[in-house]
A and B are shown apart, each in its own frame.
Chain A
Amino acid sequence: AQSVTQLGSHVSVSEGALVLLRCNYSSSVPPYLFWYVQYPNQGLQLLLKYTTGATLVKGINGFEAEFKKSETSFHLTKPSAHMSDAAEYFCAVSAHTGANSKLTFGKGITLSVRP
């Protein structure tokens, strides 16, 4: 079984400030990990994913995340927030092998960016 915990439902930062969105996962098999972004009334767009290899992964729009197996974490960061980053962010996990690669999502974090 797999699960994702996203601490806090809402994060507010000032424009230009560091963005840190936390994600912890639980998985009985080696996981694939994903961050998706959702803008209002739209579907989900992939920001980045971790599969194997390098534990620091870079994604679109300046976001990156680091896989830490010992901490079962996959936190999302961006050095400098932009107004256009305001959206809902979801962390997700899928099985590394077998299954159907369905995604198990966290509850999401709403990011607000203050001018």
Chain B
Amino acid sequence: DTGVSQNPRHKITKRGQNVTFRCDPISEHNRLYWYRQTLGQGPEFLTYFQNEAQLEKSRLLSDRFSAERPKGSFSTLEIQRTEQGDSAMYLCASRGGREGLPYEQYFGPGTRLTVT
């Protein structure tokens, strides 16, 4: 099964430290999304890539957050100077197909970040 994978699955860090998460999408998918899910809430959109281009960023993505997708394959999400409010599940999803069509987004298992 070559689904979406995310690493690490869990990350505990101290406030002020930097963390980086990785997402490996389904290989033929050119679109990749990052979402954040806090306790008791639904996932919220963070950012979107089409191939290597980052085409949209949510206002939730402060300047401490940066995401990349070099060569249009895997993606990384980095949080600098973490705060306790960054504690959440970070979900990655990928999809193929053309824009504006209802292709399914396939989600990875997520990375749970705890900032102490």
Query: A residues engaging B (CB < 8 A)?
Result: 4, 9, 32, 36, 41-46, 49, 51, 90, 92, 94-108
Of the candidates B31, B41, B95, B100, the one whose C-beta lies within 8 Å of that of A97 is B100
- Binary interface encoding of chain B residues 35-72 relative to chain A, with 1 for a CB under 8 A from any of its CBs, else 0: 10000111111001010000110000000000000000
Judge whether B42 and A41 touch: CB under 8 Å. Answer: no
Q: A107-B42, A108-B42 are in contact. List 18 more A-B contacts (CB 8 A).
A: A36-B107, A43-B107, A45-B107, A46-B105, A49-B102, A90-B42, A90-B43, A92-B42, A96-B100, A100-B99, A101-B99, A101-B102, A101-B105, A102-B33, A103-B35, A103-B93, A105-B42, A108-B40
Q: Which 6 A-B pairs have the closest CB atoms?
A: A105-B42, A43-B107, A51-B102, A44-B107, A102-B45, A32-B102
A109 → B minimal CB distance (Å): 10
Judge whether B109 and A98 touch: CB under 8 Å. Answer: no
27 chain-A/chain-B pairs, Cβ below 8 angstroms: A36-B107, A41-B110, A41-B112, A42-B109, A42-B110, A43-B109, A43-B110, A44-B43, A44-B107, A45-B107, A90-B42, A90-B43, A95-B100, A100-B55, A100-B99, A101-B99, A101-B101, A101-B102, A102-B33, A102-B48, A103-B33, A103-B35, A104-B45, A105-B43, A107-B40, A107-B41, A108-B42
Interface residues of B in 63-116 (CB under 8 A from A): 91, 93, 95, 99-105, 107-110, 112
What is the interface residue range for chain B against chain A? 20 to 34
Judge whether A106 and B42 touch: CB under 8 Å. Answer: yes
